[in-house]
Structure 1
Amino acid sequence: MARMDFLCWRAATLLLLFASGLECISVHISNEEPMYIIPGSTLVLRAHIQYGSPDELAAVTWERQAESGAPDGRAALAACPGGSLPLAVQCAATRPNVRASVEREASVLHVSNYGKADVGVYAVTATGKAGQSSTARCIVREYEAVHHVTVSINVSHSSLVCGEAWGTEPRFSWLHERDAVTAGVGRVSPDGATLVVTKLPICGHFTCVVSNKMGYSSATYTAAPCEQSGISGSTVAIVCLVVLQILGGGLAFLLWRRYRNRNRGDRLREHMDDNI
């Protein structure tokens, strides 16, 4: 009898686990990492929903709250129906720039003309008819332009350090006298922010350019002028031209003087002949 009771208890447990498995609902957003949206563009969030029977899903809701978690920063964005959904169904949105839809295993949220008021933590909640629910969240921030680029020097390490205030996804590049930095001038750190100068002493103009999707900004460190290592090709050309001009002028002067002396001798002989 005890054995029969144990088997009945185990069978009931398995049935409960099987039933609870059918009622399980899970949801997750494709963009798990924080997202950065350029102002004026459209935010698109896609949530994948998993549940059991087609009629098990009761509702899907979208909302946004402040990243700090303040209760007053929470706002409902859209409410979607559940049930059997073979095709996409539009949801009821609470704002004119919000559009959402729900289908069999997914829900998509669009926020057009994204701005500062749309920054925060976006949450999607899928609720089953038995009351069970699952929520997924994604942090969405505003994509910031590059601001306040600076260049400082670390004399002891013969390096230049480029700094930027708060731009999103900054990319660094270096110029020396308006040309891209080569191995003969220095080497750039993996993140691009530091330039270790190998050409010593440090001289000339070093410019750090910081850019991202919204534009760029730059700053320049000016050292002592670089000494010329030799005469350039243009200098040689100018010197040759001056020398040729001097030689040409001297030759012309000699020819003119010779012609003048010759004419003077002819006139002198003519004068002597007239006197005789």
Structure 2
Amino acid sequence: MSHRWSVSLLLLLLWPSWYHCMTIHFQTLQPVYAFPAECLVLQIQINHDSTEKIAQIRWERETGNMKDPGNLGKVTLITFPGQAKGLDGRLSLDQQGTVLKLEGFGLMDSGVYIVTVTDQGGAETSAQCVVKEYEAVHHPSVRLNVSHSSLYCVEAWGTDLRFSWLHEQAAITDAVGHVSPDGKTLFVSSTPICGHFTCVVRNKLGHSSATYTAEPCKREGKGTTVAGLSLILLLVCGGALAFLLWRRYKRYSNRGQRLRDDFEDNTQIFSAHSPALRWTQNHT
């Protein structure tokens, strides 16, 4: 019995050293994408009880990849309390070391950011966050799957990509086909595939596009429509020409009639008032 009490008393005395309930986590569990030349901000939240005192917060970064272990490296960036600045003045801490700010983010700043919190007893708690550079759209391409009557848009670069499709520079309609939920695949309804299909890839840094060109689409009834329009135009022009000729003929006809009438009237007047005519009449 006395032995059990001794063990219980020893565990009670050692309780503060082995009982550790501090937890930390980043604001997001997803990878963080930083824009080139802009400011990267990482923030952590520390959960602990009032008896636990924070002795140090250490920020580190691990770069490289597992396929090339020789390029793996883990460096200490900044600590709190301790350094006021880091990385040639680009790095700083705020809010008691829980907020990391990195000015002028570049590709070399990508990696796994690790923050370690040490309490007054020397116990450490860590959390990590993956940081990548936000990449612009590069050069997409379009591939044809003949067996499935579909077009697939491929983009190997870029972050947060959004896909959309155009047919003959117009939005896709049900008559043309439908797009997959992720926007990468266009299932074409018409057979055979014809015309120009353009895939447009966008993100926050811009957009780029690629076009697949098939055989020109045949427009049904196009020849009949053109012939009908040509006939109507010919009839209109013929009617207008006939009307102009009729008006011209009518105008000249009226003018000739007026000239004849005027000539006859003048002849009668001349005959009635002629002296020779009056002398002849008087001597008859």
Q: CA deviation at 1:179?
A: 1.0
Give TM-score, length-normalised by structure 2.
0.79
Range with bigger deviation, 176-185 or 60-69: 60-69
* Equivalent runs, 1:149-228 vs 2, <5 Å: 149-228=140-219
CA distance in 1, matches of 2:230, 2:39: 60
SS in 2 for 1:12: helix
> What is the RMSD of the two structures over their aligned residues, measured on CA atoms?
3.3
SS in 1 for 2:18: helix
Match of 1:43 among 18, 40, 44: 40
User: Structure 1 pair 149/185, CA: closer, same or farther in 2 (3 Å)?
Assistant: same
Aligned to 1:120: 111
Give percent identity, aligned residues only.
39
AA at the equivalent of 2:10: A
Range with bigger deviation, 136-145 or 221-230: 221-230
Q: Are 1:246 and 2:228 an aligned pair?
A: no
Aligned to 1:34: 31
Q: Are 1:5 and 2:3 an aligned pair?
A: yes
CA distance in 2, matches of 1:55, 1:16: 15
User: Structure 1 pair 51/254, CA: closer, same or farther in 2 (3 Å)?
Assistant: same
> Between Structure 1 and Structure 2, whose CA radius of gyration is higher?
2
CA distance in 2, matches of 1:156, 1:207: 20
User: Structure 1 pair 48/74, CA: closer, same or farther in 2 (3 Å)?
Assistant: same
CA distance in 2, matches of 1:36, 1:242: 66
Deviations 1:124-143 (A, max 9, x none): 11112222111211111111
Unaligned runs of 5+ in 1: 83-89
Aligned to 1:60: 57
User: Structure 1 pair 182/98, CA: closer, same or farther in 2 (3 Å)?
Assistant: same
CA distance in 1, matches of 2:262, 2:25: 119
User: Structure 1 pair 72/208, CA: closer, same or farther in 2 (3 Å)?
Assistant: closer
Aligned to 2:80: 80
Match of 1:131 among 99, 122, 125: 122
Give TM-score, length-normalised by structure 1.
0.81
Deviations 1:153-174 (A, max 9, x none): 1111111111112111111000
* Equivalent runs, 1:93-104 vs 2, <5 Å: 93-103=86-96
AA at the equivalent of 2:239: L
SS in 1 for 2:98: strand
